[in-house]
Structure 1
Amino acid sequence: MLNDLINSVKGQLTGELQNKFQLQPDTANKSVDLAKDHLETGLKSEATSGNFGGILDVLKGNKGATEQPAVNNMIGKYVNDLSSKLGVPENVAKQVGPFVISFVMSKLSGKVSSEGDLMGMLGGNLKDKLPGGLGDKLGGMFK
């Protein structure tokens, strides 16, 4: 679901990055791909550590993306990689990071209403990695 969602908004998002932050087309495109990687890794990490509530608050629209420490952590790592891997100036990366992650999280909002939806979105065999037998409690959907 995450890949499909990002692919569906990639054109819009790269256009926004070019217009608002004057990123070159190739850099804007790579920035979106990098954001996808950071979101996927960060969300999986939060899920396997049992932090469903915080992430679901953001995905349900109960909290803004930057109000959740786990999301801010993802943004920080993303900002660092924008500068170090893509050469985006740090002052620009600090603006791009929250914008892109918040944009994608807002698009996910409403599509995820439960822990099961979140795990389905992330895919993969996460059942055995979930704390306290949570994978079994979610109906074995990760087998």
Structure 2
Amino acid sequence: MTTLLFTPRFIGPTRLSHRIVMAPLTRMRSSKGNLPNDLMRTYYSQRATEGGLLISEASPVSLTGYGFERAAGIYDESQIPGWKHITDAVHAKGGRMVLQLWHVGRQSARILQPFAPMETPGRSRGRYPTTRHARLIGMKFPGSSRITNRLPNAH
């Protein structure tokens, strides 16, 4: 029965060589600007195995989606090269990787919000950000498919 752990498995179109998957862990190691960096690349590449699957730490999809500081985001064009650098390192070892998308919603601390004096939209009492603020803080995601379509896939 223990040999089943080391048998191949398909998850959708992705073939894994074994059934050991690294669960997501909160690392909080991004660079200024919530950018993925070389420290994160080292962390993930050290854990990559041939045909194995890694699930990344929570990656905020919006500037207003943070639950804690220093989480590498995926809502800005400047964050894509860092994640690509990480996934390239994992793929070089034959591993697979998926990004855990994250938005904490109303639970986000006010101090983490880009306009801290303003309440978060979920907690507001009739006060909503201006259109300019909505565009800046990510309440609308018109460009999200443009970013996510450029990310490397798991297979």
Fold conserved (TM > 0.5)?
Answer: no
Which one has a larger percent helix, Structure 1 or Structure 2? 1
Query: Greater relative contact order (Cα 8 A, min sep 6): structure 1 or 2?
Result: 1
Q: Give 1 or 2 for the bigger CA radius of gyration.
A: 2
Which one has a larger percent strand, Structure 1 or Structure 2? 2
